[in-house]
């Protein structure tokens, strides 16, 4: 089984966290994405955290996890925290492949996404 974990910063403001949950639910409605599970995780200020989601998914038999950092810039969560959490999780679950993609702000077509939105105004 394969899982996608969309990992965001987390916020004290629940409506901000709910935006990430809504994004995950959009994947639930799409049947052709190739993942058995699509879940969210937060780095701080909200739950569930990344460690929890990795452990939960591993317990459900997931053998490959793709962590997508839903971050614009490459701050310490991107450069240090998420890679460290993944390294530690690999030690806890040596039979699970866990990979981290580039973050949202580094996507090749991010400028087109922005331009498509601003052209509406």
Ordered structural domains, the chain, with CATH = 2-118 (3.40.50.1400)
Going 83 to 87 to 89 to 94, the CA torsion angle's sign is positive
Q: What is the pLDDT of residue 31?
A: 64
For the stretch 62-104, pLDDT in tens is 999 999 999 999 999 999 999 999 999 999 999 999 999 999 9
Q: What is the pLDDT of residue 24?
A: 95
Which letter does DSSP use for residue 105 in this model? G
Surface-to-core class of residue 25, CB atoms within 10 Å of its CB (0-12 exposed, 13-18 middle, 19+ buried): exposed
Which letter does DSSP use for residue 53 in this model? H
Q: What is the pLDDT of residue 39?
A: 97
Q: Which residues contact 60 (CB under 8 A, 6 or more apart)?
A: 1, 37
For the stretch 14-63, pLDDT in tens is 999 999 999 999 987 766 789 999 999 999 999 999 999 999 999 999 99
Q: What is the pLDDT of residue 80?
A: 98
Beta bridge partners of 68: 6
Q: What is the pLDDT of residue 32?
A: 75
For residues 99-111, give the mean pLDDT: 96
Distance CA 110, CA 45 (A): 27
């Amino acid at each position: 089984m394969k899982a996608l974990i969309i990992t965001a910063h987390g916020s004290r403001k629940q409506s901000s966290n709910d935006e990430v949950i809504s994004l995950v639910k959009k994947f639930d409605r799409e049947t052709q994405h190739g993942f058995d599970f699509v879940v969210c995780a937060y780095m701080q200020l909200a739950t569930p955290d990344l460690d929890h989601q990795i452990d939960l998914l591993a317990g459900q038999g997931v053998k490959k996890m793709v962590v997508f950092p839903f971050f614009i810039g490459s701050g310490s969560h991107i450069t240090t925290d998420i890679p460290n959490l993944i390294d530690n999780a690999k030690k806890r679950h040596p039979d699970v492949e866990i990979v981290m993609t580039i973050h949202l702000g580094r996507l090749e077509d991010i400028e087109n996404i922005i331009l498509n939105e601003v052209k509406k105004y």
